[in-house]
Structure 1
Amino acid sequence: MITSRTEATFLSPIVESRRWVAGVTFPDDRPLLNVSQAAPADPPPLGLRQALAEAALHQDDAHLYGPVLGRDGLRSALAEQMSSHYDATISPDQIGITSGCNQAFAATIAALCGEGDEVIIPVPWYFNHKMWLDLSGVTARPLQVGDDMLPDPAAAEALITPRTKAILLVTPNNPTGAEYPEGLLRAYFDLAQSRGLALIVDETYRDFDSRSGPPHALFQQTDWDQTLIHLYSFSKAYRLTGHRVGAIAAAPARLFEMEKFLDTVTICPSQLGQIGAQWGIHNLQSWLAGERAEILDRKQAILDAFPLLASRGWRLLGCGAYFAYVEHPFDLPASQIAQKLVTEASILMLPGTMFMPEGDQSAERQFRIAFANVDAVGIRELFSRLSQFQP
C-alpha cells in the first residue's frame, strides 16, 4: 500500500542509472562513455574559483542568511543581463534567485497550483518536472510532440480543463535538444494569456542556443509578467552545479507567493553560489561564448557522424544544446537495451522510457544522448560502438 507521495513517485533516472554501473569493471581499451547526465563534469574556471575563495575568506555575509529571493546585486546583474539578451526591459524586482533551477520550478508550481490542479507538459518531458508535479499532487497532462519534436498549440488547447493552471515548455529542450521557434513560443504565450493560464518557460540551456540574437520576444510583450514565468540555471553557464543557483523571472506578486515556499524549504540560496554567479555575469561572458562554441561544435559532430548510425537503422529525432534524441532499430525495448549497453558496449545512456508516460510504446524505441561531457572524438567513438552493437 502506498503511504506517501515519495512512494508514489518514480525514482530519478540519474539515480537509477548509476546503479547500473555500480560494481561493473570496464575494459582498459573500452572505458565507460557516460552520456546519461546533462551537467558539466569540470569545476568552474579558475577566476571564478578564486572569487569564491576570496569571498569565503574575507566576506562575512557569505556565511550568513540572506534575502529569501536572493542577493540584490545578483538580482540586478541578472535583470540587466536578461534585458540585453532579450532586447527587453526586466527589473530586479521581477527576478528571484533559487537553490537551482529545479527549485525554481518547485516554487513556481507551489505558487500556482493546488491539490488536483493540472499542468500541460510536452512529452518527452524532463523527468524532474514530472517528479515534482507528482510530489505536489498536481496532474501532468502529457502533450505529445510531432515528428519535429515540437508541441502543437492547438493540441495543447484541447487539453485545457477548468483545473489547468499552466503550460510548461523547455527550450532548448531537455531531452530532445529541440530549439522552439519564436513564433511557436508566441503562439503559446497568446494561448496562455487568452485562457488565463501561466506559461512557464524553462531556458536552462539558453546560453547554448545555436541562434544569434534574442531567441524570442516574450519579454517584449506588454505586461509579460502577468503570463510568463521564466526559469534559468547558472549551473550550466558557469559550472556551478554543486553550488545550486537558479533564477525565476516573474511578476513581483507571484514572486511574493514563491517566497513563502522558498523561505520554508531553504530560507535563502547559497551565498557563495550567488557571489559566484554574479562574478560570472560580470567577468565570464567571453569565456561563456567559448563554451557555447564548443557545444555547438559537438552538435555538429553529432550531425556529421550520424550517417554511420543511420546506415544501421537509427534515426536522429532531435539535436541541440546538450542533447541528441534518437530512435534505435532493434526489437528489444530501450529499457532493456540500456542495461546491455553498459555491460556490452561500456555506454551509459538513458532510454526514452525515462522521459515518457508509463506504457508509451514509442518510448521503448528512443534514447537521449547527453553530449556535454563527450567531445568530438568521444562522439565518434560513441557512434562507432553503437554501430557495432547488437542486443
Structure 2
Amino acid sequence: MSAVQDPIIPVIAGLIRSHPGTISLGQGVVFYGPPAAAREAIRDFFEKPENQKYGPAQGMPQLLELTERKLAAENGIHVGTARRVVVTAGANMAFLNALFAIADPGDEIILPLPYYFNQEMAVRMLSCTPVFVPTDGNNQLRTDLIRAAVTEKTRAVVTISPNNPSGAVFSEDALREVNALCRAHGIYHITDEAYEYFTYGGARHFSPASIQGSEPHTISLFSFSKAYGFASWRLGYMVIPEHLYEAVLKAQDTNLICAPSISQHAAIGALTVGSDYCREKLKIIGRVREIVLDELQSLADICRVPEAQGAFYLLLRVDTELDSMKVAQRLIQEHKVAVIPGTAFGLDEGCYLRVAYGALEPETAAEGTRRLVSGLRAITGA
C-alpha cells in the first residue's frame, strides 16, 4: 500500500475546506440528483422486512433484467448465455472485481496515458504492474504503441471512453482495433463506459462488447453515478464473460456481499425513466462546457486545450516549468479556484490540469473559469 498514490480528490477537498469561497472545478460529479422515479421507488423501502436482509451477490433480478434490456437497446450488447451482468458498488468496484478475476501478482495491465487514478491504484494494490502507453496530442489511442506494449505477462488493456481525465471520445475504429488485438493475444479488453451519455457535437459513444465475437475477452464497466446523479448511492454494474462469473462473485461476496439494496431499488426507478433523464440535463452541461471553453480561449498563448468531446472534463497543458500540484495548490490558496493536477493521472512531464465542469451551474462555471484564467496568468507571469 505504501507504493500506492494518495487519492487526489480528498487532498484537493482538504485544501478547498481550508479556503472558504473556493469554486471547485475539481471533482467529477454532475449538478443534479436522481430522478423522482428513483425516490418514489424507495418510498416504502423500510416497510418491507426482506429489504433489510442481504440480497443476491450478483444483484436484484428486476434490476438485472432492466439492465440487460438497456444494454441491448442502447449499447448493442446482448447478454445471452455467453455473458453475465453483476451489479456492483460503483464502477470502481467493478474494476477491482475484474482484476481479482483475471490477474495474478506480477501480471501487467496496460493503461493508456492519462490514466484514471483509481484504476492505477487498484492495479498496484493487487501487486500487478501498470504499463503506461502514451496517447497522441489529442489524447486519442495509439494502437501501434498498445500493440508494442503487449508481453507474455499482459492480462488486459484498459480503455476509458468518453475519457476521464481528458474528455476524449475514442473512435470506433480504434476501439475495434484494441478489441481485436486483445482477442488475438488471449487477453482482456476492459472498457470503462461510465460517461457513455456525455458526448457533444458529432461525437458518438461506442461499446466494444457490441462487436461480434467479443464475448470471451471483453469486460464492460458502467455506472449510475454520472447519468442518474447517483454518486453517493454507489451503484454500477459490469458485463463479463460467463467463464469469469464464479471468480467475480467470490470477489464481490468477500468485499461487499451485495450492492446496497436501497440503491438497487432506486436504480430500478431510475431505469424506468431511462437515459432521456440524463440527456435532458446534458443540455445544461453542454452550455456550461461552451462557457468554459470560451473563457479559456484567452489563455491560448500559454495554455493548450486539446479537443474534448466527451465526459465533462478538459485537460489543459500549461506552458510553465512549475509542477502541476504546486500550481493547483496556488490556484486554491491565492485565487480560490480548484482543479486536479495532472500528476494524479500519470502526467509527470509538463504541467497538466484537469478541469471538471459537470457539477456547476452556468454562472458559477463562468466565475470559476475567470478565476482560473487570471490565476494561471498570475502564477506563470504571463
The TM-score range, normalised by the shorter chain, is over 0.9
Match of 2:221 in 1: 231
Say if 1:107 and 1:258, in contact at 8 Å, map to a contact too: yes
User: 2: distance between equivalents of 1:291 and 1:149?
Assistant: 26
- Displacement after TM superposition at 1:41 (Å): 5.2
- Map Cα deviations across residues 292-324 of structure 1 (whole Å, 9 max, x no partner): 2222222233333331222x4211024231111
Query: What secondary structure is seen at the aligned counterpart in 2 of 1:11?
Result: coil
Q: Which amino acid aligns with 1:355?
A: F
- Displacement after TM superposition at 1:111 (Å): 0.3
- Count of equivalent residues: 375
Picking from 62, 67, 81, the partner of 2:51 is: 62
Q: Does 1:72 align with 2:61?
A: yes
Query: What secondary structure is seen at the aligned counterpart in 1 of 2:101?
Result: helix
- Map Cα deviations across residues 97-117 of structure 1 (whole Å, 9 max, x no partner): 111110000000000100100
Query: What secondary structure is seen at the aligned counterpart in 1 of 2:322?
Result: coil
Q: Which amino acid aligns with 2:228?
A: Y
- Displacement after TM superposition at 1:35 (Å): 1.2
Match of 2:272 in 1: 282
Match of 1:3 in 2: none
User: 2: distance between equivalents of 1:288 and 1:115?
Assistant: 39
- Map Cα deviations across residues 188-244 of structure 1 (whole Å, 9 max, x no partner): 011111111100000001021237897326333333221211000011121122221
Q: Does 1:103 align with 2:103?
A: no
Say if 2:143 and 2:177, in contact at 8 Å, map to a contact too: yes
TM normalised by structure 1 equals 0.91
Query: What secondary structure is seen at the aligned counterpart in 1 of 2:173?
Result: helix
| Cα distance change on mapping 1:372 and 1:332 into 2, 3 Å | same
Q: Does 1:337 align with 2:332?
A: no
Q: Does 1:378 align with 2:356?
A: no
Query: What secondary structure is seen at the aligned counterpart in 2 of 1:361?
Result: coil
Query: What secondary structure is seen at the aligned counterpart in 1 of 2:58?
Result: coil
Picking from 287, 296, 299, the partner of 1:297 is: 287
Structure 1, unmatched stretches of 5+, are 1-5
User: 1: distance between equivalents of 2:149 and 2:116?
Assistant: 19
User: 2: distance between equivalents of 1:386 and 1:51?
Assistant: 41
Q: Does 1:361 align with 2:343?
A: no
Say if 1:318 and 1:326, in contact at 8 Å, map to a contact too: no
Structure 2, unmatched stretches of 5+, are none
User: 1: distance between equivalents of 2:180 and 2:203?
Assistant: 22
TM normalised by structure 2 equals 0.93
Q: Which amino acid aligns with 1:15?
A: P
Q: Does 1:13 align with 2:8?
A: yes
User: 2: distance between equivalents of 1:87 and 1:45?
Assistant: 25
After superposition, the CA RMSD in angstroms is 1.9
- Displacement after TM superposition at 1:87 (Å): 3.2
Identity in percent = 24
User: 1: distance between equivalents of 2:199 and 2:266?
Assistant: 23
Say if 1:86 and 1:214, in contact at 8 Å, map to a contact too: no
Aligned 1:313-324 pairs, distance under 5 A:
313-319=302-308, 320-324=310-314
User: 1: distance between equivalents of 2:110 and 2:286?
Assistant: 30
User: 2: distance between equivalents of 1:61 and 1:316?
Assistant: 52
Query: What secondary structure is seen at the aligned counterpart in 2 of 1:238?
Result: coil
In terms of mean alpha carbon deviation, does 218-227 or 157-166 score higher?
Answer: 218-227
